[in-house]
Each structure stands twice: as C-alpha cells, then as structure tokens.
Amino acid sequence: MHQINKKDQKIVLVVEDDIPLLEAAKLKLEKNNFYVISARSVERAVASYILESDIGKVTANSVEKVLQHLRDLERVDAIWLDHNLIGKENGLDFIEKFHANGGRFLDVPIFVVSNTSSIDLRKSYEKLGVKNYFVKAEHRLEDIVNAIKTVLG
C-alpha cells in the first residue's frame, strides 16, 4: 500500500469478485486521485486482518501493514459494491455487517454495481439506504467513477 495523502485523497473500498473489473475500477479510481482498498468477498472486506496481495490472496505479513489497513478502513469515504461475490455472502450481507459498526459507517455512500437488475433486489438495497445502483451492462466505468466523484465532492 502506498502512503495516503489525507488532504488530497478520498478512500474507496471496492468489493468486486470479477478480477478484470476490479482491476479496471481500481486503476480508473486511482487515476482520479482516489486511494483504493480492494476485496473480492465480504469476508475479506470486513475481517480485521485483511490485506490482499497482487494475486488476490489474503496475507498478513506484518503488524505494521495490518494496523495501517485498519486505519485505512476506518477512513473509507465510499464503497463500490458488487451484489454477487465470492463466498456465501453477497452485497446485502456486506452492508448489514458494515452498518453494524454504526456511527459514521452509516453515512458512507455505497455504490452497488451489479449485473442483477431486478426491482426486488434494488428495493432490498434501498431499504438499507443505498441510493446509487448501477447495472453493469447499462453503465460505463467512467459513469460510475464520475458518480462517486460527484457524491464525494
């Protein structure tokens, strides 16, 4: 992880199981001056010891890196969230766990980016406070990044 410039960078947590899209989103966000933390499952996104290596495996090879990651995660400014993820849990499960932390975590804007466009699923996310829902096939990566930039100012 590179050093976060607290004045100039907002932190976006990208929880996306599709590796090419995860990498593309990360690259696009970083080009727009965001610091990106990424995960491919709910477990990796919320576990206190998460660190991803370049090949997507969880590692925790130093206390300093773990502590830095926890500080970063506490400062998450926005979340890019896929609905279908690796593992048993999905985006709805993630939001429930994330909001369970209370406080400022309830106000972090979440951008659901999914292949699923069902009205029932959208309503489920709306009940959890999600205002930004993007169907992957209907939006360009740049549109989603611009929406994140607009919401974060």
3-class DSSP state of 34: strand
DSSP conformational letter for 87: S
DSSP conformational letter for 149: H
The answer to whether 51 and 65 have CB atoms below 8 angstroms apart is: yes
Domains and CATH numbers, the chain: 12-152 (3.40.50.2300)
pLDDT tens, position by position, 12-59: 988 888 889 999 999 999 999 998 888 776 666 655 334 433 334 444
pTM: 0.77
Cβ neighbours of 57 (radius 10 Å): 9
Cα–Cα distances in angstroms (integers) from residue 112 to residues 51, 53, 64, 86, 134, in the given order: 22, 24, 31, 16, 6
State the pairing for strand pair 76-81/110-114: parallel
pLDDT tens, position by position, 80-125: 999 988 878 888 988 887 787 677 778 899 999 999 889 999 999 9
- Give the pLDDT band of residue 77 (cuts 50, 70, 90): very high
Q: Locate 54 and state its tokens.
A: 């370049």
